[in-house]
Structure 1
Amino acid sequence: MESIASLPKRPKLPIPSNDVDPIDHGNKSMNDLPEPVVHHIFSFLETIDVIRASAVSTKWRYLWTSMPHLNFDYQAGWLNPLRQEFSSTRVYEKFKDFINWVLMAHDKSVNIQSFRVSCLNNDDDRSLYRWIKILAQKHVKELHLKVKSYKRGPFALPRYLLAPDSLEILELDLQRSVLKIPSDVGFSRLKSLQLVRTQLLDQNLFHNFISSCPLLENLRLEGCLFHDFKVLDISLRNLRKLFIDNHMCGGSFDERLRKCVFKIACPNLGYFHLKDPYAQNFSWDKIPSLLQTATILPWGWEDAVLHEELANYLLKILRGVCHAEVLKLGKCILEHLYPAVAEPRCFSTTFYNLKSLKLFTGIDKCYIRSIIYLLKCAPNLQLLSVYIDEEEYDCDYQWEIPDEAIACLTDHLKMVKLIEVDNSDYELELIRFLLKNGHVLEKMSIIWPSDLQRETQMEAIQEIMKFPRSSSNVTVTFSELKESDYDDVL
């Protein structure tokens, strides 16, 4: 192992990528700022830029040695400026020397609040583990690691990171590498865990790992592969946010959740996001009663999966989010929901707390029937936002929109926003239905696609303005699509 004492005193810093100084030399008032304020400002900079900024003032000359926030990005701060002068191997060696030097020179009486690094990891290089050991001695609270291994070698979570019992936030982006979890790992103070592009090999070790974090409030699994998992069991009493996104994670369909039973027991969950969620089965052991926002965005399914099987599976997910105040549903939800809608006895869930329903949907008989049935299930709904996809779905179900009393339309629904309306018959029929039955409706916003011809817009406006309205206070507005309109839905 390389000796820390043998490291260079101060490696040569790379040339900045532009001519702009990190700190404006003309701003003399910054010298008068309290040190904690300067630390906060510098926390948004790369550490290499903080050291450059120390030349601005003699008062700041050694300020960087007491910085509680350290940020190192190999590609952003080092690779581009020196690409022409040195080989990538030489540049990375300089990058490691710089981190070693900063950690050696850091004030020993100051703990490190957060450490963020984007680096490489080779099997024969222990630099990353040496840094983590120093951080453990400095009682680090936030650790953000983005690690790329060209050989896809595993990253072993070191046991000595547990010793200080100080870590509260852990984020690992392993770029498709395997995370090796020791059997006795657990963080008693950890509140947030994020795993990105990480391969997990053992379902029991993973379950024991997260279960050994009793204070965990935020769990994010993004682009992860679950090899040979039979059950993905997330049972955490204090968890507030659960984000699982397997879209574009690579690997085979089976390495995601296809052959896995997805089990959730998080009674205090407040935020739930599930993208590309299809598993062998789904169960809620404890339905969260404090749920504020639920987002369910199925991305795509195998052709071999039966339509009815998907409908039943999605209904299991929806039953677990029945207490949500805000519900966001992707297109596939409505596409596969209508078989169950045709048999209401199969889905008796009522969303009594739901105030806002945001949908990404197609627009034909099947989608509209699912939309109206969801309205029936949300008696206290106040806001409906719908983003309409132009793609048509092959639906042979014969059904007409009924004019009937729906609780939310009669008593609560005040705002409707329809995005990307292009004047199709089904869209106009949905608008007519909502205006005719929305007794307390105050505003309906209709947003055209940016490429919809002006003549088509005017034809639609003339027809819509003739529709009967139950609410005398409703205002109907028309506008063209803006980028911010997407954010309002999903």
Structure 2
Amino acid sequence: MSSMDHAYYKQSDTKGAQIIKLVPEDRLSNLPIDILHHILSFLDATDVTRTSALGKNWRNIWSSVPSLKFDFNVFQVQRPYLQLNYCECLSKFWVFFFWTFLMREAPQVTELRILCHYFDVEQFHLLLGLFATQNVKELQFEARFTVVDYPFSRALSESLSALRRYYDGSVKIQFSTAFGNLKSLRLVAVYFNDAKITAELFTNCGVLENLSLEYCRMQMLEVLNISASNLKKFTFLNMHRSIFNVHLFHGRLNMHTPNLENFYYNGPVLCWEFSNTSSVNHAMIEVSNETYDVLREPKLAATISALNCAKALSLPSVVPLYLARFRCGSRCHLPNTRSLRLGMLYTSRCMEGLINLLRLTPNLKILSMEFTLGFEDNWKSRDEDVACLSHHLKEVRITGSRYPAFQVELLKFLLQNAKVLENIQIDQEEQELDPKKLYALRTVNLASKSVALMITSISASGKRKCVSFNLGISEESSGPTKLSLV
């Protein structure tokens, strides 16, 4: 019977007669508690607490959900019905947040996300103690606005004071900077308005393993110290969401993170110092275009040398431009780098910087180049004695080929100098580099025995077209070794 998928029949005796009652089946309530928690984790905390009105079985489920999200925009929808002004609504939001936290039955909150219109480091400092009592593992704060100091920015402190008045004192919460069991922290657009608190905030991070600072206001800080012995991943987006960059951090970044494995930075060139980078596997640095004119030797040389232990390194095009002007020598030596992803421009200066950078990475095996804006000039390939080209470089990936003549000269340079090269892969838009132009490579003295060349073109509609070549030494050629295309 198909209706059995939606209901079940209950049979009972009443005065000797059999009565069959149709009882709707509550499949949702009968799900395992772990699945219910997972479903509720996608809802805002206001909707999660409302599930207590669904029935007796749902009365206390909300209090054990390990993943919570508090979004002020969702809470603000109630504002017209509650007849509250904006500041009163914000204050009520924080009261709701505190009481939801304190009335929970679960021993810990695995993941907590708070989205509000304004948030500063003082408010974050007040909440850390509460998070420690709930054993929060993953924490994310995201502010909507950061440019203006809004008059309602003290709503959290006011709500905290109100909570202390209402609270019966049976449990005392110590608000401190203790991170407790916090393993992941993400702060988005938070205002670091108190340098003293910030100085203490990241100096003892307990078991913190993942730290992300994104679009935060840090113009008041001269030094940012991060000391976390267990930190494995650090992301620092030192930029603003809008076109205005007046709130960026331009001071000094000091990091004592002996177990750091992944480092990502995007922003202006900084002075920074790493006490230990021996465990770094991947480091990625992006520099905004407006900082290209700030090619100051001490900062950029320190940036490169600080990451000399990284096994995989991603650098912007400002680095080869800088290295074309300054030869850093041993200060920027990168002996541990095996994989390099590099931003490039179509200029002779950038190519000269690339060659200098290859000298600094003697053990490089994989080179990825992403070409962006620039202008084509008359750079010509030549023979160069570079350690990584002679002994280690096996794979090259090129993205964004726009100028065919420049591209061919780049390929000539790789083919005539890379002695153990095996693969070259070019990803481009449709018809940017005509494969027929590659026949100009027939005059190149091939350094490697065999190289597989693949060109992938992607049309505007997303259609992919691949052309493959096998480049090898011709057995029939006499004199200088020539290139044969098979």
Is TM > 0.5 for Structure 1 vs Structure 2? Answer: yes
Query: Where in structure 2 are the equivalents of 1:82-481 lying within 5 Å?
Result: 89-90=79-80, 93=82, 125-136=91-102, 138=104, 139-149=108-118, 155=123, 157-159=125-127, 161-162=130-131, 164=133, 166-177=135-146, 184-250=176-242, 253=245, 255-258=247-250, 260-279=251-270, 282-301=271-290, 306-307=294-295, 309=296, 311-340=297-326, 343-345=327-329, 347-392=330-375, 401-450=381-430, 452=431, 457-464=434-441, 467-481=444-458
Whether the 8 Å contact between 2:236 and 2:266 is mirrored in structure 1 is: yes
Q: Distance in 1 between matches of 2:450 and 2:49?
A: 61
1:32-88 Cα offsets, whole Å, 9 max, x none, are 864324433553455688799999999889866654334455667996xxxxxxxx7
Bigger Rg over Cα: 2
SS at match of 1:201: coil
Q: Distance in 2 between matches of 1:90 and 1:484?
A: 51
Whether the 8 Å contact between 2:44 and 2:74 is mirrored in structure 1 is: no
Does the C-alpha gap of structure 1 residues 399 and 353 become closer, same or farther in structure 2, counting only changes over 3 Å?
same
Q: Distance in 2 between matches of 1:373 and 1:155?
A: 48
Range with greater deviation from structure 2 (56-65 or 471-480): 56-65
Scaled by the length of structure 2, the TM-score of the pair is 0.72
CA offset at residue 313 of structure 1?
1.1
Range with greater deviation from structure 2 (157-166 or 40-49): 40-49
Report percent identity of matched pairs.
24
Does the C-alpha gap of structure 1 residues 155 and 63 become closer, same or farther in structure 2, counting only changes over 3 Å?
closer
CA offset at residue 315 of structure 1?
1.4
Q: Distance in 1 between matches of 2:80 and 2:46?
A: 18
Q: Distance in 2 between matches of 1:162 and 1:445?
A: 49
SS at match of 2:145: coil
* Aligned CA-pair RMSD: 4.2
Whether the 8 Å contact between 1:240 and 1:271 is mirrored in structure 2 is: yes
CA offset at residue 372 of structure 1?
1.7
Q: Distance in 2 between matches of 1:292 and 1:484?
A: 35
Range with greater deviation from structure 2 (218-227 or 47-56): 47-56
Whether the 8 Å contact between 1:225 and 1:256 is mirrored in structure 2 is: yes
Query: Which amino acid in 1 is paired with 2:180?
Result: S
CA offset at residue 133 of structure 1?
4.6
SS at match of 1:144: strand
Whether the 8 Å contact between 2:284 and 2:314 is mirrored in structure 1 is: yes
Scaled by the length of structure 1, the TM-score of the pair is 0.71
CA offset at residue 448 of structure 1?
2.3
Task: List runs of 5+ in structure 1 lacking aligned partners.
Answer: 1-23, 80-87, 97-119, 486-490
Task: List runs of 5+ in structure 2 lacking aligned partners.
Answer: 8-24, 158-174, 465-486
* Alignment: residue pair count: 413
SS at match of 2:340: strand
Range with greater deviation from structure 2 (207-216 or 320-329): 207-216
Does the C-alpha gap of structure 1 residues 399 and 203 become closer, same or farther in structure 2, counting only changes over 3 Å?
farther
Q: Residue 39 of structure 1 corresponds to which residue in structure 2?
A: 37
Whether the 8 Å contact between 2:37 and 2:65 is mirrored in structure 1 is: yes
Whether the 8 Å contact between 1:246 and 1:277 is mirrored in structure 2 is: yes
Does the C-alpha gap of structure 1 residues 376 and 57 become closer, same or farther in structure 2, counting only changes over 3 Å?
farther
Whether the 8 Å contact between 2:323 and 2:356 is mirrored in structure 1 is: no
Q: Distance in 1 between matches of 2:37 and 2:235?
A: 31
Q: Distance in 2 between matches of 1:136 and 1:57?
A: 22
Whether the 8 Å contact between 1:244 and 1:275 is mirrored in structure 2 is: yes
Query: Which amino acid in 1 is paired with 2:37?
Result: H
Q: Distance in 2 between matches of 1:449 and 1:143?
A: 42
SS at match of 2:268: coil
Does the C-alpha gap of structure 1 residues 352 and 423 become closer, same or farther in structure 2, counting only changes over 3 Å?
same
Does the C-alpha gap of structure 1 residues 199 and 331 become closer, same or farther in structure 2, counting only changes over 3 Å?
same
Q: Distance in 2 between matches of 1:246 and 1:131?
A: 29
Does the C-alpha gap of structure 1 residues 52 and 89 become closer, same or farther in structure 2, counting only changes over 3 Å?
closer
1:156-176 Cα offsets, whole Å, 9 max, x none, are 643551561612222111223
CA offset at residue 399 of structure 1?
7.8
Q: Distance in 1 between matches of 2:418 and 2:379?
A: 21
Q: Distance in 2 between matches of 1:256 and 1:129?
A: 32
